[in-house]
Chains A and B, each alone.
Chain A
């Protein structure tokens, strides 16, 4: 009796909501970390699921190529147009090539492609695993003595870690070409000037930094979306909610990690 009374009065306390939210956050984080730990400990089983890994590499990699080409082209073009607009007349136009290369490699391609793929890849993964959860397919896997984390989550995360850098290197190339085109077609900067600017400013570390970001973003997006799909409750409505949460949470985590990586590594 006294227990239920104190429980009730507590729920009217203004801090109880904050308390509950905090508890749920740590519960959530704890579960996420324990799944991550399980994944790492059972990594040696991964080769048994190599077929799943190749499947997921196709899903995450090949299927994202069109959207990566599209986004990168426009990123390159708009960067070229804007940087030439921002420059004073007495600054040599070769600078545009340098600016486009730097900003594309360091920031724009990795970040924008990660945000687009957070929607495309992340939402697909959550919807897929979520509907497997609500239709008892994950239970069925377990009933057949499979480890659903090694079977479903590990292949997706490995595929993400592996394919994101490839997509982003590819996106870098396309974006620079787009920039070259934008510079010559819209801002009237000759291709030779663009290329000489690009050559003078190119540093390998810039590209490497972009690739490190790609690995981190690939991990973040696939692991969060797998986790949110894996724990879905409440039917197809629950799947829809989880899918939306995935897009929001992965985008937020990506921009925060973008800042952290830049602060630490640059």
Chain B
């Protein structure tokens, strides 16, 4: 369970978060929808302590993140898989090395099992024979999927997806949606998904949170979203109907 209480965060004069409250229940997929530049990526980073809020509290499984010592923070981060918006692959390493890196350091896998595990992670994201390629030589969509493989390699309890399907063709995007649902049903992964892809949102989401002007203006199920009269919320619903 992840709970955010009254989060405030500014960068200089830019007040990005102004009282964010959010609860993510175990084994659910919560989708965050919101305008570009609103502060969604920053929010995800604060959950694993990559950025500090100016005030407010963030708890994961009952432990306060904002005051954690470094060692505890590292333990916490191992519970999380993070898919970055731009994939953030290490560009001095091959695709295989990108996925191996954390396995080597944080898992008990033997050398032979590691390559098997890399294969398995790549298969999950429907990639074959790419281990030896450098990130600079693969397409944006492939990078996303490698980033996803890297994030799930250590079988995290929580997944944070920053725009997992943006920039992918429909077929690959559907594949990723399927995979996200599979991770939830088979491994019981709890997920937060930031997305602009409203179609994908409704395929994977259990609950939805609309981020607007530094806070969540509505959090609820698809039905609750549909019955809302708020014009900001209606925008999202109507854009789905158009599809």
Q: Write the residues of chain A forming the contact surface with B, with a CB cutoff of 8 angstroms.
A: 48, 128, 131-132, 135-137, 139-147
Q: Which of B74, B86, B102, B106 contacts A136 (CB 8 A)?
A: B86
| Chain B residues numbered 68-85 whose CB sits less than 8 Å from any CB in chain A | 70, 74-75, 77-78, 80, 82, 84-85
Query: A144-B77, A145-B77, A145-B78 given as contacts; is B88 within 8 A of A139 (CB)?
Result: yes
Count of CB-CB pairs between chains A and B under 8 Å: 51
Query: A137-B90, A137-B91 given as contacts; is B85 within 8 A of A143 (CB)?
Result: no
For residue B143, give the distance in angstroms from its CB to the closest CB of chain A: 11
In the bound complex, residues from chain A placing their C-beta under 8 Å from that of B82 are 140, 143
Contact A144 B88 (CB under 8 A): no
Contact A145 B45 (CB under 8 A): no
Q: Does B187 contact A (CB under 8 A)?
A: no
In the bound complex, residues from chain A placing their C-beta under 8 Å from that of B86 are 135-136
Contact B84 A144 (CB under 8 A): no
Q: Does B178 contact A (CB under 8 A)?
A: no
Q: Does B48 contact A (CB under 8 A)?
A: yes
In the bound complex, residues from chain B placing their C-beta under 8 Å from that of A131 are 91
In the bound complex, residues from chain A placing their C-beta under 8 Å from that of B193 are none
In the bound complex, residues from chain A placing their C-beta under 8 Å from that of B90 are 132, 137, 140-141
Contact A139 B91 (CB under 8 A): no
Contact A142 B102 (CB under 8 A): no
Q: Which 6 A-B pairs have the closest CB atoms?
A: A140-B88, A136-B88, A143-B82, A144-B102, A145-B77, A145-B74
Contact B88 A137 (CB under 8 A): yes
A131 and B136 CA atoms in complex are apart in Å by 13
For residue B9, give the distance in angstroms from its CB to the closest CB of chain A: 16
For residue B150, give the distance in angstroms from its CB to the closest CB of chain A: 8
In the bound complex, residues from chain B placing their C-beta under 8 Å from that of A136 are 84-86, 88
Contact B88 A142 (CB under 8 A): no
Chain B CB count within 10 A is highest, among A132, A135, A144, A145, for: A144
For residue B12, give the distance in angstroms from its CB to the closest CB of chain A: 11
A139's closest neighbor in chain B, by CB? B50
For residue A158, give the distance in angstroms from its CB to the closest CB of chain B: 18
Contact B102 A145 (CB under 8 A): yes
Contact B80 A146 (CB under 8 A): no
A139 and B42 CA atoms in complex are apart in Å by 11
Interface CB pairs A-B, < 8 A, 22: A128-B92, A132-B90, A132-B91, A135-B88, A135-B91, A136-B86, A136-B88, A139-B45, A139-B50, A139-B84, A139-B88, A140-B84, A140-B89, A141-B90, A143-B48, A143-B50, A143-B80, A143-B84, A144-B102, A144-B106, A145-B105, A146-B105
In the bound complex, residues from chain B placing their C-beta under 8 Å from that of A139 are 45, 50, 84, 88
Q: Does B170 contact A (CB under 8 A)?
A: no
A136 and B70 CA atoms in complex are apart in Å by 20
Q: Does B203 contact A (CB under 8 A)?
A: no
Contact B101 A144 (CB under 8 A): yes
A135 and B89 CA atoms in complex are apart in Å by 9
A136 and B75 CA atoms in complex are apart in Å by 20
For residue B88, give the distance in angstroms from its CB to the closest CB of chain A: 4
In the bound complex, residues from chain A placing their C-beta under 8 Å from that of B92 are 128
0/1 per residue, B77-115, Cβ < 8 Å to A?
110101011101111100000000110011000000000
In the bound complex, residues from chain A placing their C-beta under 8 Å from that of B106 are 144-145
